[in-house]
Amino acid sequence: MAGKRVVLVEAGPDDREFSDVRTPVKWLEMHPEITYKHYTEKVWETPRRSGLAEVELGGKVLGGSSSINGMVYLRGAKSVYDKWGWGDLNWEALEDALGPLGTATPTRAAEAFLDAARENFGFEDAKNDDCEFLPDSKGDAFCKRTAQTISPRGHRISSATAFLTDEVRRLPNLRILTKTRALRIEFENDGSVATGVLVEREGKEEIIEARNEVILCAGALLTPQLLLLSGIGPASELESIGIRPRVDLPGVGKNLTSHAVADVLIPLKRRDDGLTEVTNTTTFLDAYAYMYSSFCKAVRCAAPDVALTAAYFPKFRAANGEETARIQALPQGHVAVAASRYGSPKARGTVSLRSADPRDSPKIDPNYLGSAEDVAIILEGMRRIQDIARSAANVFGEPMAFPRPNSTLRETFERTAMTYFHPVGTARMGDDETAVVDFDLRVRGGGGVRNLRVADASVIPLIPNANTNPAAMMIGLKAADLILQDDDDAERKKNACVHNPN
């Protein structure tokens, strides 16, 4: 990009200002200044600490959510990415940029759970170091040493540490603006060409001009908000809150897809089987297993659709004194194994505007209970977790039920289910009428928008059956290739000449 200048706008601070970002063990208690908390519409019927809503977290710091997440690195099945429309993806280039990855060390309880899954239920040991290809397994399988974005020096690897290196930060054509909030995309008077971004910085509004293009990377919850605030989205919805539509693009904010997850808490019979030592690289995430649900087997899925995640901590939190007392009364502690429909969840939610004020939080409806099939598949995973634990009675006690000791499995799901923090799809890539961006990541609209792209998890057309951070970084890498290709094409056109034989 010779001769081009780049302005990187980040609403939060520099990741280097917070030592906790670099320390993997700190990820469960990140500073609120670098974490978005988006409260959703009502999701659940059973009260929890956040009431009946869900709390979706996101990174508000250089590196985005890769600076605050749980650092699990699983690519997901190739059979899913093949449906995106991009062909083969250059994972080797991404992983070269990230550098050597660490691996999780499972507790004895996690190992006992996986051993029981193998011996009593036919799960296969993937026997690969990084587990990245596990989701493409032909049968139920597990990996005891899951890859993590932790460097050999014990530091978190994020998109900021991998790509905003000291050398890159010193580039004369790069300007990084932290603590700067994007409010709206600016357009020429005719409304067709993106020319910049209105931002708020140090309490004042200013316009950052863009001569070439604007690229949105705010994530699956905030990118659609920016598009809608800028008049790009369903025209009737925009008009209802006083925003003049520029482009009637009905897919903006629709197709919200994520992974819901539900915990099964399993008492331990020996405390030494749990986490016995906490170091700076402890993430409390032990191991992953994948299984084919009966739904998936019936249609002969290309990849397993249920993830079973062993962790030393439960993702759900006690909502009252009774639940707290039950957990604290376990003399030897517990392990939490979670079930999630990782493969092609059917429920779809929405992101919309509460008002025309860009400082209002977006209205988020994840709709996790919108698909009876999703719920049935998660329940099948929870049932398998219970059966595996019961088959290793020398290690585990009877799996617990919530909110009461005699609650049904469905009630336990309803109480312990929550988001897995993997929202995608709200500016979906494709070539149909409801797609928001094309395969070059340009915002569509019948030629109504130019010089505007999206490059984040919101463009994902089909959610990977894995944690979504690797996919989000791959989209960024692909976007860079597309932009450089466009730059090369423009330069060739500029230098082209026509031979006139006369």
C-alpha–C-alpha distance, residues 324 and 193, integer Å: 56
The answer on whether 291 is annotated among ligand-binding residues is no
φ, ψ of residue 335 to 5 degrees: the values are -120, 150
Amino acid identity at 367: N
Bridging pattern class, strands 180-187 and 35-39: unpaired
Identify the sign of the CA torsion 397, 403, 407, 409: negative
C-alpha–C-alpha distance, residues 102 and 25, integer Å: 14
Residue 422 appears among annotated catalytic residues: yes
Bridging pattern class, strands 247-248 and 232-233: parallel
C-alpha–C-alpha distance, residues 81 and 91, integer Å: 11
C-alpha–C-alpha distance, residues 353 and 221, integer Å: 11
Helices (H), 230-358: 235-240, 294-298, 321-328
Active-site residue, from 38, 334, 422, 499: 422
The partner residues of 37 in beta bridges, in order of sequence, read 57
The answer on whether 71 is annotated among ligand-binding residues is yes
C-alpha–C-alpha distance, residues 162 and 355, integer Å: 37
The answer on whether 70 is annotated among ligand-binding residues is yes
The answer on whether 400 is annotated among ligand-binding residues is no
Q: What is the largest CA-CA distance in the chain?
A: 95
CA distances from 103 to 65, 112, 494 (A): 20, 18, 49
418 CB-near residues (< 8 Å, 6+ apart): 48, 54, 260, 261, 262, 315, 316
Query: Which SS3 state, helix, strand or coil, does residue 271 take?
Result: helix
Contact between 286 and 311 under an 8 Å Cβ cutoff? The reply is yes
The answer on whether 351 is annotated among ligand-binding residues is no
The answer on whether 420 is annotated among ligand-binding residues is yes
- Annotated binding site for FAD, which residues? 61, 69-72
Q: Give me the active site residues, please.
A: 422
Binding-site residues for substrate, please? 420
